[in-house]
């Protein structure tokens, strides 16, 4: 009997934690305005979405300080000289207890990738 009670309690807590993680991540989905760290000015809009593979991504939808057709001249590889608008700059984020974690973010200003937690 005690074993059954422990199993029920364990399942309840696992379900509660899973729902909390999902709720935190789902709050992040949507359109976000990015802010320049140095000037405090709004730089762009990024749409964060959950893909079919379960990871979260962010796509630049509009530039606010640069021309809409600006290319990523600092990017390397396949992203070199591609339009910044439409670029996926937030990659493979996964839902964690307090938000999104273990992903990467790319800064089109310097073309570098960084580890990202939100």
3-state secondary structure of 13: helix
Q: What is the pTM of this model?
A: 0.77
Fold for 2-116, please state it.
Answer: Lipocalin (2.40.128)
54-91 residue pLDDT tens: 999 999 999 999 999 999 999 999 999 999 999 999 99
Interacting residues of 98 by C-beta distance below 8 A, sequence separation 6+: 24
Query: What's the whole-number average pLDDT of the chain?
Result: 83
Contact 56, 88 (CB under 8 A): no
């Amino acid at each position: 009997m005690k074993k059954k009670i422990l199993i029920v309690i364990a399942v309840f807590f696992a379900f509660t934690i899973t729902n909390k993680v999902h709720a935190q991540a789902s709050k992040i989905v949507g359109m976000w305005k990015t802010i320049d760290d140095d000037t405090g000015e709004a730089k762009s809009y990024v749409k964060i979405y959950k893909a079919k593979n379960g990871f979260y991504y962010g796509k630049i939808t509009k530039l606010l300080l640069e021309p809409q057709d600006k290319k990523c001249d600092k990017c390397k590889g396949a992203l070199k000289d591609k339009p910044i608008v439409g670029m996926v700059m937030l990659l493979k984020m996964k839902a964690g207890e307090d938000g999104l974690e273990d992903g990467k973010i790319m800064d089109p200003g310097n073309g570098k990738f960084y580890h990202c937690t939100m």
